[in-house]
Amino acid sequence: MGHGPSEPSAWVRRFADWIPARGAVLDLAAGGGRHTRFLMGRGHPVLAVDRDVAGLADLRADPAVTIIASDLEDGRPWPFGDQRFAGVVVTNYLHRPLLPAIVAAVAPSGCLIYETFAVGNERLGKPSNPDFLLRPGELLEAVRGRLTVLAYENLEVTDPRQAVIQRIAAVSAGERL
């Protein structure tokens, strides 16, 4: 992933160029905002969402970011309606019922960058609850027929710690493909 918990993930850095310049990005379950900050630094307006936005407090006054405190798992409908984003970034977060809405939130020519823990991680540590672990091919399945896959991996990594992860970068049909 990155070289530390606050560094942007190497996967996000690798595919960030696929997010159309200056396009709006959704950072879902943004946490401390490592990707919010990274993508703001690249000139994107970012919508950062988390149920706990304390880690984003220092960004509150920045006009380039919109911070939304929202529990994404409380059974209410997807909070962004039919809003579409040039980039959708999700890392180290999984709530399976959201996968279709996450994929649908990618604008034409936009890019989805998703990376989180996968089955097998339970041998190594947390998360070990199957609800939080992607099944083999699950991200491929989620984008099938909707987005074009740039890259997909399901593997054991050692950086920043030993973990089994699955990750995908996929783009919506547009003039660049």
One of 3, 57, 64, 73 touching ligand SAM (CB under 6 A): 73
One of 23, 34, 103, 107 touching ligand SAM (CB under 6 A): 34
Beta-carbon contacts of residue 50 (< 8 Å; ≥ 6 apart): 29, 30, 31, 56, 69, 70
CA–CA dist 173, 10 (Å, integer): 24
Question: Which two structure tokens, joined as six digits, stand for 104?
Answer: 């649908």
Say how many residues touch ligand SAM, by CB under 6 A. Answer: 14
How far from 123 is each of 44, 80, 163, CA to CA, in Å?
38, 36, 9
Q: How far is the CB of 135 from ligand SAM (least distance, A)?
A: 19
Residue with tokens 């996000």: 12
92 is a site residue for ligand SAM (CB under 6 A): yes
159 is a site residue for ligand SAM (CB under 6 A): no
One of 52, 58, 141, 159 touching ligand SAM (CB under 6 A): 52
Other residues' Cβ atoms within 10 Å of the Cβ of residue 81: 9
The span of 71-79, 97-105, 128-136, 149-157 binding ligand SAM (CB under 6 A) equals: 71-79
Positions touching ligand SAM (CB under 6 A) are 29-32, 34, 50-52, 71-73, 91-93
